[in-house]
Amino acid sequence: MDTSLFVPFQTLVYISTGNVLFHPGMYDSVSLQMTSSKAGLWISRQDVPAAVYNSDLSANTYNVPQLPYPGATGTVSGGAGSLKGDADGANVFWLFVSQIPAC
């Protein structure tokens, strides 16, 4: 996966253990924290902009695929049985699809 490219909605990408997102990770555009991805297949839940340079961090930031999903708490938020932090959150750019088994 190349973080310098725009990724359209519902695009499958593969993150290998050799990808910078897996190790050492990148600064996440939302949290501004160094964040790593799980290796495997991910699908974009919304359009994902290319990495951008953040002068305050002196580094690129990206909407890093991550688990748990940003904002997820796993608790009921009240009202009509909705879950807080589910995959519909505005900060969820990626959904994990599958780990790729090593043979």
Domain assignment of residue 10, given as a range: 1-103
pLDDT in tens, the chain (103 residues): 999 999 999 999 999 999 999 999 999 999 999 999 999 999 999 999 999 999 999 999 999 999 988 876 655 555 555 555 577 788 999 999 999 765 5
SS3 51: coil
How many domains does one find in the chain? 1
User: What is the model's pLDDT at position 78?
Assistant: 56
C-alpha distances in angstroms, 51 versus 34, 62, 65? Answer: 14, 5, 13
pTM: 0.84
SS3 98: strand
C-alpha distances in angstroms, 25 versus 37, 54, 73, 80? Answer: 7, 15, 22, 37
User: What is the model's pLDDT at position 83?
Assistant: 56
